[in-house]
Amino acid sequence: MATSDVHVRVCEQEILKYDLEIKALIQDITECGGPQSKLTEINTDVKKHFHNLRLRIQDFEWMAMEQDRESDKQALLSHVEGHRKQMLSNQTAWRKANLASKLSMDKMEKQALLNGADGAVRKRKMTKEGLAQSASDITENLMSISRMMAQQVQQSEDSITTLATSSRTIQDTNEEFKAMTGTIQLGRKLITKYNRRELTDKLLIFLALALFFATVLYILKKRLFPFL
């Protein structure tokens, strides 16, 4: 009989333990703001606890029915009935907690959608402003490129003008060089002619001197050696 009392107390303690754990899980469901996967996980845990609680209440009822004294039997059956009512109360609280959690998550989802819509409007506004700024930047860049190209064209024109001037200068120099070349060639011809004339003059002078000396010798010969 003492062993039976120990089993009864242990069984009832387990029933109370499951009851408290179920209440704690129901509180978690009430405070759960999502996501849905977390709520599903808590509900799965609650179902397991209710299953175990139901089994322990059945065991407790069986122990009550096994009591020898009718007074003990009725007392324990009274406890069984109390535990079953408490279990039903927990089931009701469980359903209400799920409903409240569902409403809370729906509200949060709607708020998130509204915030998302506001964010999308702000994003579109920022996108338009960004596009306008980008268009302005592109226009400025194009204008800068146009100015740079104009400067390059002007520099190219200046370079072409410089090249044309240099080309004319080179042509003029070339003409002057040709004129100088003609003058030099003419001078060379004159020098050659003068050199030839000088040679001729020297030859004539030599012949004249030879003739002169020959004449002098002839005269001297006639006067000094008339008999020859």
Residue 107 DSSP SS3: helix
From 100-104, 111-115, 179-183, the region with the lowest mean pLDDT: 179-183
CA-to-CA separations, 46 to 53, 87, 140, in angstroms, rounded: 10, 12, 67
Residue 67 DSSP SS3: coil
Residue 79 has pLDDT above 90, yes or no: yes
In terms of average pLDDT, the best of 37-41, 197-201, 205-209, 219-223 is 37-41
Per the document, the length of the chain is 228
Top pLDDT among 94 and 158 is at: 94
Using one digit for the tens of pLDDT, what is the confidence trace for 142-169? Answer: 676 667 666 765 766 766 676 667 667 6
Confidence tier at 104 by pLDDT (50, 70, 90): confident
Q: What pLDDT does 153 receive?
A: 54
Structure tokens at 117: 């819509």
Q: What pLDDT does 34 receive?
A: 76
Residue 107 is which amino acid?
K
Residue 187 has pLDDT above 90, yes or no: no
CATH architecture label of 1-113: Up-down Bundle (1.20)
Using one digit for the tens of pLDDT, what is the confidence trace for 10-31? Answer: 999 999 999 999 999 999 999 8
Angle ∠(170,171,172) on CA atoms, nearest 5 = 90
Mean pLDDT, all residues of the chain = 82
From 22-26, 28-32, 92-96, 186-190, the region with the lowest mean pLDDT: 186-190
Structure tokens at 136: 């302005």
Residue 121 has pLDDT above 80, yes or no: no
Q: How far apart are CA 63 and CA 15, in angstroms?
A: 14
